[in-house]
Amino acid sequence: MDSDVIVVGAGLAGLVAAAELVRLGKSVTVLEQEGEQSLGGQAFWSFGGLFLVDSPEQRRMGIKDSRELAWQDWVGTAGFDRPEDEWPKRWAEAYVDFAAGEKRSWLHAMGVRFFPVVGWAERGGYTAQGHGNSVPRFHITWGTGPGVVEPFARRVRQAEVDGKVQLKFRHRVDRLTVTDGVVTGVSGTLLSPDESARGVATTREPLGEFELNAAAVVVTSGGIGGNFDLVRKHWPKRMGAAPKRLISGVPAHVDGRMLGIAEEAGANLINRDRMWHYTEGIENWDPIWPHHGIRILPGPSSLWLDATGKRLPAPLFPGFDTLGTLEHIMTTGHEYTWFVLTQKILEKEFALSGSEQNPDLTGKDVKLLLKRVLPGAPGPVEAFKKHGSDFAVAATLPELVAKMNGITGEGLLDYETVRAAVTARDAEMDNTFTKDLQVTALRGARNYRGDKLIRVASPHRLLDPKAGPLIGVRLNLLTRKTLGGLQTDLDGRVLRADGSPLPGLYAAGEAAGFGGGGMHGYRSLEGTFLGGCLFSGRQAARGVAGS
Give the pLDDT score at 367.
85
5: β partners: 28, 216
Q: Where are the alpha helices (DSSP H) in 45-181?
A: 56-60, 67-78, 86-100, 103-109, 144-161
| Dist CA 245 CA 323 (whole Å) | 18
pLDDT tens-digit series, residues 220-253: 999 999 999 999 999 999 999 999 999 999 999 9
| Dist CA 450 CA 453 (whole Å) | 5
Amino acid at 420: A
| Dist CA 435 CA 425 (whole Å) | 10
pTM: 0.97
Please count the residues of the chain: 547
**What 3-state DSSP class applies to 285?**
coil
In the 8-state DSSP scheme, what is residue 462? T
> In the predicted model, what is the mean pLDDT of residues 12-35?
98
| Dist CA 175 CA 8 (whole Å) | 11
pLDDT tens-digit series, residues 449-495: 999 988 999 999 999 999 999 999 999 999 999 999 999 999 999 99
Q: How far is CA 353 from CA 45, 129, 442, in A?
A: 9, 28, 21
pLDDT tens-digit series, residues 286-336: 999 999 999 999 999 999 999 999 999 999 999 999 999 999 999 999 999
| Dist CA 89 CA 109 (whole Å) | 29
Give the pLDDT score at 370.
80
pLDDT tens-digit series, residues 346-395: 999 999 999 999 999 999 988 888 877 778 888 999 999 999 999 999 99
pLDDT tens-digit series, residues 89-140: 999 999 999 999 999 999 999 999 999 999 999 999 999 999 999 999 999 9
